Structure 1
Amino acid sequence: MTTNLVISVDSVYKSFGNQSTLHNINMKLRRGEIYGLLGPSGSGKTTLVKELVGLDTPDQGSIMVLDSQMPDLKVMERIGYMAQADALYQELTAMENLDFFAALYGLKRKKKKERIEWAASLVDLSDHLDKLVSNYSGGMKRRLSISIALLNNPDLLILDEPTVGIDPVLRKSIWTAFQRLKEKGTSIIVTTHVMDEAEKCDTLGMIRNGKIIAHGSPAALKEQCHAETMEEAFLYYGGLSYEN
C-alpha cells in the first residue's frame, strides 16, 4: 500500500442475522481527499462507517486504515469520529463536554485551550459554550459533536450525517472548514443523503442496499450517464441491475 493511501477496503461483507448489510464493498481514500458516501437511510452507510472506525469488524474482507489492519487502538486515536447520534452529556455545558473529551485525547493546559477555542469557533459555538447541552437545539448539538471530533487534530475525520438539522448558511461554512482541513492534509469521509453536499466531495461512492453502485468524482459520475444533476445520476445508477 502506498503512503498516500489512507484507507483501503477490500471485498468487505457484513450481515446481521440473515440480513446482509454490506456486500462486496471496495473503496480507497487518499491523503487530503474528501470522500462522500451518498445513499438513503438504511443503505449501509452507518454500518460501513463503524467498520472503518474500528467499532465493528467485517464478516469477510479487509479494512486497512493508516497502514494498519482495523480495528487498531493506536490508529483509532488518530481518527476523529462523529456518529449519527450525538454522544453528548446533556447535564453538562458545552464547554464541560469539550473539556472532558479533550482530556480523553490527552490534551493539556495551553494545547487543550487552543484546540477547544479553535473547534468551537469553527462551528460558530464560541458564544454558547456556557449553556447546558440539554438546552441546545438539534443543530447546535450536531455542531458540538463536530467540534469534539476535531479536538485531537485527527489525520482522518469520519463524519456520519454531520449537517443534519443545520441551517444552510452554517452548513456552507462547515463545508468551507472541511475544505481548509483537506488542504492541510486531513482526509475526510462524510456520509450524506444531500445531493449538493455530494457535489462538494472529491470522490463519491453511491451506496444502496449495502452495495457501492457507482464510484468516481461527482463530475465523472454525471458525465458517464449524461445527467445534469447528481440526483439524476443517483437514480440512474440505482436503477441499474447490479445483482450478481
Structure 2
Amino acid sequence: MNYGGGMSARTTAAVEVADLHITRAKNHILHGLTFTLDKGSITGLLGPSGCGKTTLIRAIVGSQRITSGTITILGQPAGSAQLRTTVAYATQNLSIYRDLTVMANITYFARLYGATDYDNVLETVGLTDYRTTLVENLSGGQASRVSLACALVAHPQVLILDEPTVGLDPVTRKSLWEVFRQLADTGITIMVSSHVLDEANHCDNVILMRRGRILAHAPIDTIQQETHTTNPEAAFLAYIANNS
C-alpha cells in the first residue's frame, strides 16, 4: 500500500511554519516559531511537558486558533478542507473505541474518511492476528498501534503523533519507531512529539522546545556537536544554560 500518494507541492517542504504566535487568555503560548518539515522525514518535537508541543501540533492540524503567523501544508493553509484526508493526527490519549474490535475501529474511521483501500493497515502496524480482539483486551503498545492504523486509513501524506510512546516499555517503543521509519520511507512526513529526549536518536531532525520557543532545529548529531555533548539530554541542558 502506498501511503504517501496524492497531493503534491512545489517545494521539498511538506510543512512550513512562519513566525507563528499563539496567545490564549492573554498568555503568550508560542513565540514566533519558524521552521519547515521536509517530505518523507521524521521530526522529533521534543521538550518538557508544558513547553507548547501540543499547542503547536493542534495548530498544524488546524484545531488551534492562530494569533499571527502562517502554517502551510503541501501548499494549503493549515485546517483547509483539502487537507482533511491528507493530514492525519493521533492524539496523546487514545481516540479509538475500547469496546470495539480492532477491525471495527479501523472500519469506522475508514468510513469517516470515505476510504475504501485500507485492508493492509493492520499488516503495516503488525496487528494482523488481532482483527477480532477488543481494544480493551490489548496492551498499551498494541492499542497505540490500533490508533496509528486508524490514522493511516486515508493514506495521509503528513502524520502528526502526539506523545505516541508515552508509558510504553523500551521494546514496544523500539518497535513503534521501526513502524514510523517504514512509513517515512514511503514518503510520509512525520512529526512525533515526546518529552523523552533520547527519542531524538530515531529522528532525521529534532525541534527542541522550551517555554514556547525553539531552542534548536537540526539533526541530533549536529546539535550535540554544536553543544559539545554526547547525548540529547545533555544537549538540551546546554541550550538552556546558554539561553538563561
Q: Does structure 1 residue 85 correspond to structure 2 residue 87?
A: no
SS at match of 2:49: coil
Q: Who is 1:142 aligned against?
A: 144
Q: Which residue of 2 aligns with 1:172?
A: 174
More deviation, 123-132/9-18: 123-132
Deviations 1:25-60 (A, max 9, x none): 111011111111111111111110000011122101
Preserved contact between residue 139 and residue 164 of structure 1 (Cα < 8 Å): no
| One-letter code aligned to 1:226 | H
Within 5 Å, give how 1:65-104 maps onto structure 2. Answer: 65-104=73-112
From 16, 22, 37, give the equivalent of 2:24.
16
Aligned length: 236
Q: Deviation at 1:234? A: 0.6
Superposed displacement of residue 198, structure 1: 0.9
The TM-score, its normalising length taken from structure 2, stands at: 0.90
Displacement of 1:165 after TM fit?
2.8
3-state secondary structure, aligned to 1:199: helix
Distance 1:146 1:152 in 2: 12
* 1:2 CA drift (Å): 4.4
Residues 1:62 and 2:70 aligned together: yes
1:153 aligns with 2:155: yes
1:186 to 1:61, Cα distance in 2 relative to 1, 3 A: same
Matched position secondary structure for 2:243: coil
Instruction: Please say if residues 163 and 194 of structure 2, whose CA atoms lie closer than 8 Å, have aligned partners that are also in contact.
Output: yes
Alpha-carbon distance in structure 1 between the residues aligned to 2:98 and 2:138: 9
What's the offset of the Cα at 1:194? 1.8
Gaps of 5+ in 2: 1-8
Tell me if the contact between 1:57 and 1:71 (Cα under 8 Å) persists in the aligned partners.
no
CA shift digits 1:125-161 (9 cap, x unpaired):
2222322223333333222111111222211111111
After TM superposition, which residue ranges in structure 1, 4 or more long, deviate above 4 angstroms? none
- 1:5 aligned residue (8, 13, 19): 13
SS at match of 2:224: helix
Once the two structures are TM-superposed, the CA of residue 13 in structure 1 deviates from its matched residue by 0.8
Shift in Å, 1:23? 0.9
Three-state SS of the structure 2 residue aligned to 1:25 is strand
Which deviations, in whole Å up to 9, do the C-alpha atoms of 1:176-228 show, x marking residues without a partner? 22222222211111111222321111111100111111111111100001001
Q: Indicate if the aligned counterparts of 1:160 and 1:191 stay in contact, CA closer than 8 A.
A: yes
Contact 1:94/1:129 (8 A) holds in 2: yes
Task: Confirm or deny: 8 A CA contact 2:85 2:155 kept in the other structure.
Answer: no
| TM-score, structure 1 as length reference | 0.90
Preserved contact between residue 43 and residue 191 of structure 2 (Cα < 8 Å): yes
RMSD: 1.7
Give the equivalent residue in structure 2 for 1:47.
Answer: 55
CA distance in 2, matches of 1:91, 1:172: 27
The alignment partner of 1:188 has SS state of strand
**Structure-1 residue corresponding to 2:5:** none
Letter in structure 2 aligned against 1:70: A
Q: Which runs of 5+ in 1 are unaligned?
A: none
